[in-house]
Structure 1
């Protein structure tokens, strides 16, 4: 029988097996949720807004994983346009867009239209950092 122990996560940094994890407060429509920073990588998905004060936690990233669902406004996820704007503001060396819907073009077509340093993620992608 598996054994597990639940821990409540708030907005304070914590460690798991020696890896510091910094929670990033974001919003999924009006619902506050958390993204996470693991050293030089941040993972933010199911979000449509990052509060201004949270951008400080995202400085100096090598890699950003960020959600986008489609072009044009979406009530609870970043649009492609918003995700590009957020990615450029954060300024990570590489940004991978995830949570892509069928309303966006296929990988090669989407990659060709994205700014340098921003690319679509794909199933099976492995990121070393």
Structure 2
């Protein structure tokens, strides 16, 4: 299943839609025929459509665009490079979170006294 199709399905679920024609009416430049092609993996969302859907369903725009780039890759080498970029960005984010946690030091809680 392609990323474009997965994003459309998340959108349908988020909106409570049961039919593809409801999605077609919401998305600029998408017809029922092009939506069928997306579902079959013959076509992809555009960057603007991807950003629109990502915003609605609460997915990170940058991550969505990177996944779209991986999906649109013409060769395995191109796809691997995009995948490596995603991994490096993820690793950098994790390293940043760990570094920030280390800089804050231990959390000190005040001593609580219990009165009887």
The two structures have a TM-score, normalised by structure 2, of: 0.31
Choose 1 or 2 for highest CA Rg.
2
The two structures have a TM-score, normalised by structure 1, of: 0.28
Higher helix share: 2
Q: Which has the higher contact order (CA 8 A, sep 6+)?
A: 2
